Amino acid sequence: MEGDRLKDSFMEIPIENHNTAAWANVEKLKPVSKVSIPSEFDMKNAKEYVDSNEK
């Protein structure tokens, strides 16, 4: 029982921070699917990040 409470307390801590993700600053939404489209500036920043972290 005590192990379950410990597990639940760890689940409250977020694993990732999405505040700086490309989709965090939504410029517009597609009308039917409601898919977010980020601004061109955010897409370029995301691409630069991915390219700089290639293995």
Q: Which pLDDT score is estimated for 45?
A: 85
**Which sequence spans correspond to the domains of the chain?**
22-55
Q: Which pLDDT score is estimated for 24?
A: 64
The candidate with the shortest Cα–Cα distance to 25, out of 7, 40, 10, 9, is 40
DSSP assignment of 28-48, as one string? Answer: EE-TTT--EEE-HHHHHHHHH
Residue 7 corresponds to which tokens in the numbers above? 């597990």
Note down pLDDT in tens along the chain; length 55 residues.
555 666 666 666 666 666 666 566 778 888 888 888 888 888 898 888 889 877 6
Q: Which pLDDT score is estimated for 4?
A: 64
- Whether 28 and 38 have beta carbons less than 8 Å apart is answered as no
Is the model's pTM score more than 0.75? no
- Whether 36 and 29 have beta carbons less than 8 Å apart is answered as yes
Q: Which pLDDT score is estimated for 38?
A: 82
Q: Give the separation between CA 36 and CA 52, rounded to whole angstroms.
A: 25
